[in-house]
Amino acid sequence: MKNFQNKAELSTYIGVLKANGSTIGFVPTMGALHQGHLSLVNNGLSENDLVVVSIFVNPTQFDNKEDLVKYPRTLEEDISLLKTVSSDRIIVYSPTVDDIYGNHIESRTFTFDGLEHEMEGAFRKGHFDGVGTIVKRLFEIVNPDRAYFGEKDFQQLQIIRKLVELHQLPVEIIGCPIHRAADGLAMSSRNARLSSEHRIVSPFIYKTLIAAKTQFGTKSAQAVTEWVNKEFKNQPLFELEYFIIADISTLKPVKRKSTKKSYRAFIAVYAGDIRLIDNIALN
Ligand code: PAF
């Protein structure tokens, strides 16, 4: 399996592949790969000749220094896991911070038609500037035909779509369904850091989302939101940061339901010092 650390070498290599007619899928990751990432890679392999997987813990998207320091870094295991999928059709790009940012570890400022102010944007200042900066830079280096993002980070997915639209980037963005553990917990690289006590109760998050979806059929967004808040007050192992029912195109909270619009419920929860997010389509 080819593994590049240098952006110029990777770009040259991909340029030759594309000149010879190969199509390139791209799965950007921060490593600590799990089955959710592999399903993105498999989607990429089914639609492209080759898939580039970037493994880079991007410092500019962390609003919390401790989270950045503690973020799992497992490059060798990640490469072994990718080899179980394919050795000859996957290319890894695992750059250093220097290769990406040089001396300026800073994000650019982006606007995404207001999507950046909601939910994760409100609770994690500067997060989407960091995501926009790294994803745009990676798209320039990899020059993929298609890029694959999981719906677990649904707000991120909508923001990347907006980035591509506003900056007219020549890449198709493909959103892929959330991959869940058998008990319903959405797969995340952070799950590995959950205490066993928190891991055992964590299916509660998805169960609450399913119940919220059922209630949304007959109740207002406000009534469902109040119910979820109460449920979490009775669950001492979790601290609910937000539960929001939002329009999927604006990501603004629903005031009055309309049958013409599509909604999702979004949740962010602290399990000890681990922050988990999840979401569910409501209609
Ligand atoms: O979703 C992630 O893992 C990251 O936000 C991404 C898209 C790889 C950018 O660092």
pLDDT 10s digits, 237-266 = 999 999 999 999 999 999 999 999 999 999
Active site residue 37: yes
Quick check: CB of 134 below 6 Å from ligand 1? yes
Mutation choice for ligand 1 from 52, 58, 110, 136, CB with most ligand atoms inside 8 A: 58
Band of residue 84 on the pLDDT scale cut at 50, 70, 90:
very high
Distance of CA 138 to the CA centre of its chain: 15
Distance (angstroms) between ligand 1 centre and the Cα of 29 equals 5
Q: Is 30 in the pocket of ligand 1 (CB under 6 A)?
A: yes
pTM: 0.97
Computed over every residue of the chain, the mean pLDDT equals: 97
Pairing of β 24-29 and β 238-247: unpaired
Q: How far apart are CA 283 and CA 281, in angstroms?
A: 6
**Is the CB of residue 100 below 6 angstroms from any atom belonging to ligand 1?**
no
Mutational test site, ligand 1, from 34, 140, 156, 187, max ligand atoms within 8 Å of CB: 156
Mean pLDDT value of segment 212-231: 98
pLDDT (tens digit per residue) in 87-135: 999 999 999 999 999 999 999 999 999 999 999 999 999 999 999 999 9
What's the DSSP call for residue 261? S
Closest by Cα among 242, 240, 262, 259 to 251: 262
What number of other Cβ atoms are within 10 A of residue 85's Cβ?
18
Go through the domains of the chain in sequence order and give each one's CATH number: 2-176 (3.40.50.620), 189-281 (3.30.1300.10)
Residue 117: partners with Cβ closer than 8 Å, 6 or more residues away: none
- Active-site annotation holder among 37, 127, 179, 198: 37
Does the beta carbon of 58 sit less than 6 angstroms from any atom of ligand 1? yes
- Around Cβ 88, how many Cβ atoms within 10 Å? 9
Atom of ligand 1 lying closest to residue 150 CA: 1
User: Read out DSSP for 63-120?
Assistant: S-HHHHHHS---HHHHHHHHHTT-SSSEEEE---HHHHHTT---PPP---TTGGGSHH
DSSP 8-state class, residue 126: T
What does each C-alpha distance from 224 to 159, 209, 282 come to in angstroms?
26, 10, 12
Mean pLDDT of 172-201: 97
Strand pairing category for 274-281 and 146-150: unpaired
Report the nearest atom of ligand 1 relative to the CA of 153.
1
Q: What is the pLDDT of residue 22?
A: 98
What is the residue with the minimal CA distance to atom 10 of ligand 1? 58
Q: Ligand 1 centroid vs 68 CA: distance in angstroms?
A: 13
- Separation between Cα atoms, residue 172 and residue 47, nearest integer Å: 11
In the block, tokens 């899928």 appear at 25
Query: Following CA atoms 269, 39, 107, 8 in sequence, which dihedral angle do they give, to the nearest 10 degrees?
Result: 160
The whole-number pLDDT of residue 249 equals 97
Ligand 1 mutation pick, 33, 120, 124, 131, max ligand atoms within 8 A of CB: 131
Atom of ligand 1 nearest to the CA of 57: 10
Ligand 1, atom 3: closest residue by C-alpha: 29
pLDDT of the residue at 230:
98
Rounded mean pLDDT, 168-189:
98
